[in-house]
A and B are shown apart, each in its own frame.
Chain A
Amino acid sequence: MQTTPENTTILEIQNLSKQYGTIQAVRDVSLKIKQGEIYGFLGANGAGKTTTIRMLMGLIKPSKGEIRLFGQSLVTHRAQLLARVGALVETPSAYTHLTGYENLELTRRLIAVPKNRINAVLSQVGLQDAANRVVREYSLGMKGRLAIAAALLGEPELLILDEPTNGLDPSGIREIRDFLRSLPKQGVTVMVSSHILSEIEQVASTIGIISNGAMQFEGALATLRARFQNRLRIEVNNTKQAMQILEHFSPAQIEPNILELNAEKPQIASINQLLVEAKIEVSHLELTRLSLEQIFLEITKENPS
C-alpha cells in the first residue's frame, strides 16, 4: 500500500453530470474525500448515488465533469488508480459455482497480488471457515463479506462501498459498521453510500447529501447539525393568540393546541414569560433536537428525487 499524507485529497469530483436522453440523473456533483475519512454518501433511492459511483468506477461515462483520484485524472490513469481502490458496487457479487477462496483467487490473478493476501482478507472478514464452500451455499451476509474481502484484496487506499448493508440482518449490519470504523486506523479511506441515514450517522466523519441528482450538502456532521436549529413545541389553551404573540419566531400550528417554532435553549424562558404575561396557559414545553433523518428530510424536501 502506498502511503498518503493526512489531509491529502484522495478523491475529488468536479461538476460531474450524467444525462440519459432528457433525464438528468446526476447534475454538477462535486465532492472531496480526504485521507482517513469515512465519507457517508447519503441519498434516497434514485437520488443519483449509484450513478455517481458507477461513473467513479468507470462503469459508465460521465456526460460532463472530472474525477481525480490521488491527484490524477481517472481518464488518463485508469489502471494505476483503480489498483489503489477497492469497490463494491450495488449488490455483492461472486461466481456462485466457485468457492469463496476460488473467487478471491480469481480476483487475485486479475490484480496481481501475493497469494497470502487471500487468507489475510478471509480472516479479516471472518470467512476462513466457509472459504472452501461454494458461494451458492452462502447467506446474503456471507456474500457481502466475501465481496468486501475481494475489495480489500489489493490493500486499497480507498474503499468504495455502495449500500453495503442492503439485505443484511441487524447483526450483519453491526458487523459491517464495526468493520468500517476500524478501516481508517489501517490507513484506508472509505466512501460508503446508503439511504439508511442512521447507518451513516454512526460511522461517517463527513457526509455528502445528494437529492434529485444534485449535491445538497457536504461537510462534517456537526456542521450539518449546526445549520438546523432545535424545535420548540408548546402546548397552549389559545393557539391563535399565542401565534400572534410569538409572530417574531414564525411559529407553525401543528395540532389544534400545539405550536412549533425554531428556538434554542436560552430562549425558552423568555418565550414562556411572553405567553404567561399574555395570560395564555402553557401546559407543555419541549425542546427537540432534529435527528439526522429529520435534517435530511428538510434538506431534500425541496428537491424530491
Chain B
Amino acid sequence: MMLSRTISAESYKLRRTPALLLAASVPLLICVLYLLLFNFAGSYRNLSEVQFWEQLLGISNFLWNTLMLQMGIAVLGGLVVGIEHTENQWKTLLTLPPSRVSIYLAKILVVAGLVLFGSMVLLFGLTLVGLLQTNFATPHWTGIFDITIRAWFTALPLMALHVWYSSRFKSFAVPLGLGFAGTLTAMFTANADGLIWIFVPWAYPSTDLIAKYGTLTLGLSSVVFIVVTALGAWDFSRRDMQ
C-alpha cells in the first residue's frame, strides 16, 4: 500500500523532466542508425537473412549491452535520485509518513521501469528493422529477447547500485563518472579469461550473451540485485539526513 503510494508519487514527479525522452531516444537512435547502416554502408548491404541477424545482434551486443545500457542507467539513476538533492527535497520527503525503505525501493522500481521502457522501445525497434531488412521474414526472436529483456534483467544490479550511490552523492557527476568507469572496466573484463567479470556488474548484460556464462549471469544478477538493494535500503534507512 505504502509502496504503491511512493511509486505513484515518484512517477508523477518525473513530469516535465527528460526521463522518458532519454529512456526512449537512445534505443530509437540505435534503430535509425541500423536502418542507415544496413541500407547505405557497403559491407552491410545485401546480406543474407542469417548474416543480417548475426550482424545486427553483434553490433547491438556492443552498442546496447556493453555501452548504452550502462550509461543510460547511470544517467536515469542520477536523474531519478538527483531530483531530491536539489532544493532541500530529501528533508521534506523524509518527514512524510512513508518509510524510508518504501521511498528507496520506489526509486529503484522507477529506474527499472524507465530502463524497461527503453528496452521495450529497442525490442520493437529491432523487430521493425528486422522485418524491413528481411522482407518481413520471421524475426530472430531469441536474439532480440536476449538483447533487450534479458539484458534489462541482468542490469538490475546496476540500477540498484546507481540508486544507492546517487542517494549518497549530491553531484550528478559522481554517478555519471562511476557509470563510465564501470562501463570501461566491463569492456575489458567481459572478454577476459576466467571469471573476473563476476565482480563487475556492468559486465553482466554482455556476459549473459556468452553461451557458457548465460545461466551463471542470470543467477548472479538476481542475487547481486537482492543483496545490493537490501544493503542500500538498510544504509538509506539508517542515514542521518543533514
In contact, B97 and A79 (Cβ under 8 angstroms): yes
A54 touches B (CB below 8 Å): yes
Residues of B69-113 at the interface with A, using a CB-CB cut-off of 8 Å, are 83, 86-89, 91-99
> How many Å lie between the Cα of A94 and that of B17 in the bound state?
15
A111 touches B (CB below 8 Å): yes
Closest to A57 in B: B95
Contact pick for A82, options B13, B89, B96, CB 8 Å: B96
> How many Å lie between the Cα of A89 and that of B5 in the bound state?
22
Smallest distance from the beta carbon of A109 to chain B beta carbons, Å? 4
> How many Å lie between the Cα of A184 and that of B127 in the bound state?
64
B212 touches A (CB below 8 Å): no
In contact, B5 and A59 (Cβ under 8 angstroms): no
A150 touches B (CB below 8 Å): yes
Q: A47-76 toward B: CB 8 Å interface, digit per residue (1/0)?
A: 000000010011111000000000000000
In contact, A82 and B241 (Cβ under 8 angstroms): no
B12 touches A (CB below 8 Å): yes
In contact, A90 and B99 (Cβ under 8 angstroms): no
Smallest distance from the beta carbon of B104 to chain A beta carbons, Å? 14
A246 touches B (CB below 8 Å): no
Listed residue (B8, B9, B95) with the most chain A CB atoms within 10 angstroms of its CB:
B95
In contact, A59 and B94 (Cβ under 8 angstroms): yes
Interface size on B, residues (CB 8 A): 28
> How many Å lie between the Cα of A16 and that of B12 in the bound state?
37
In contact, B95 and A147 (Cβ under 8 angstroms): no
Closest to B1 in A: A112
**Residues in chain A near residue B96, CB distance under 8 A:** 82, 107, 110-111
In contact, A83 and B95 (Cβ under 8 angstroms): no
Q: Please list the residues of chain A having a beta carbon within 8 angstroms of any beta carbon in chain B.
A: 54, 57-61, 78-80, 82-83, 85, 87, 89-98, 102, 105-107, 109-112, 134, 147, 150
**Residues in chain A near residue B241, CB distance under 8 A:** 54, 59-60
In contact, B12 and A97 (Cβ under 8 angstroms): no
In contact, B9 and A150 (Cβ under 8 angstroms): no
Q: B13-37 toward A: CB 8 Å interface, digit per residue (1/0)?
A: 1011100000000000000000000
In contact, B95 and A97 (Cβ under 8 angstroms): no
Tell me whether A110 and B6 are in contact in the complex, defined as CB-CB below 8 angstroms, given that A59-B240, A82-B97, A95-B83 are known contacts. yes
Contact pick for A93, options B2, B8, B91, B240, CB 8 Å: B91
In contact, B12 and A106 (Cβ under 8 angstroms): yes
In contact, B12 and A105 (Cβ under 8 angstroms): yes
Closest to B99 in A: A79
In contact, B86 and A96 (Cβ under 8 angstroms): yes
Smallest distance from the beta carbon of B109 to chain A beta carbons, Å? 15
> How many Å lie between the Cα of A109 and that of B91 in the bound state?
17
**Residues in chain A near residue B5, CB distance under 8 A:** 109-110, 112
In contact, A102 and B15 (Cβ under 8 angstroms): yes
In contact, A59 and B97 (Cβ under 8 angstroms): no
In contact, A60 and B240 (Cβ under 8 angstroms): yes
Contact pick for B92, options A82, A83, A89, CB 8 Å: A89
> How many Å lie between the Cα of A112 and that of B102 in the bound state?
15
Contact pick for B95, options A58, A80, A94, A102, CB 8 Å: A58
18 inter-chain pairs at a CB distance below 8 angstroms, sorted by A residue, are A59-B240, A59-B241, A60-B241, A61-B238, A78-B99, A85-B95, A89-B95, A90-B91, A92-B88, A97-B17, A98-B13, A102-B15, A106-B12, A109-B9, A110-B6, A111-B97, A134-B16, A150-B92
Closest to B93 in A: A110
**Residues in chain A near residue B99, CB distance under 8 A:** 78-79
In contact, A58 and B94 (Cβ under 8 angstroms): yes
In contact, B87 and A96 (Cβ under 8 angstroms): yes
> How many Å lie between the Cα of A58 and that of B103 in the bound state?
14
Closest to B8 in A: A109
Residues of B156-191 at the interface with A, using a CB-CB cut-off of 8 Å, are none
B135 touches A (CB below 8 Å): no
> How many Å lie between the Cα of A153 and that of B89 in the bound state?
17
Smallest distance from the beta carbon of B51 to chain A beta carbons, Å? 47
Residues of B112-142 at the interface with A, using a CB-CB cut-off of 8 Å, are none
Smallest distance from the beta carbon of B234 to chain A beta carbons, Å? 14
**Residues in chain B near residue A95, CB distance under 8 A:** 13, 83, 87, 89
> How many Å lie between the Cα of A109 and that of B2 in the bound state?
10
Closest to B106 in A: A110
In contact, A109 and B95 (Cβ under 8 angstroms): no
In contact, A93 and B98 (Cβ under 8 angstroms): no
Closest to B238 in A: A61
Smallest distance from the beta carbon of A127 to chain B beta carbons, Å? 17
Tell me whether A102 and B12 are in contact in the complex, defined as CB-CB below 8 angstroms, given that A94-B87, A96-B86, A109-B5 are known contacts. yes
Smallest distance from the beta carbon of A198 to chain B beta carbons, Å? 26
Tell me whether A110 and B9 are in contact in the complex, defined as CB-CB below 8 angstroms, given that A78-B99, A98-B16, A147-B92 are known contacts. yes
Closest to A108 in B: B9
Smallest distance from the beta carbon of A25 to chain B beta carbons, Å? 11
Given contacts A61-B240, A95-B87, 9 further A-B contacts (CB under 8 A): A54-B91, A54-B241, A57-B95, A59-B241, A83-B97, A91-B87, A95-B83, A97-B17, A110-B96
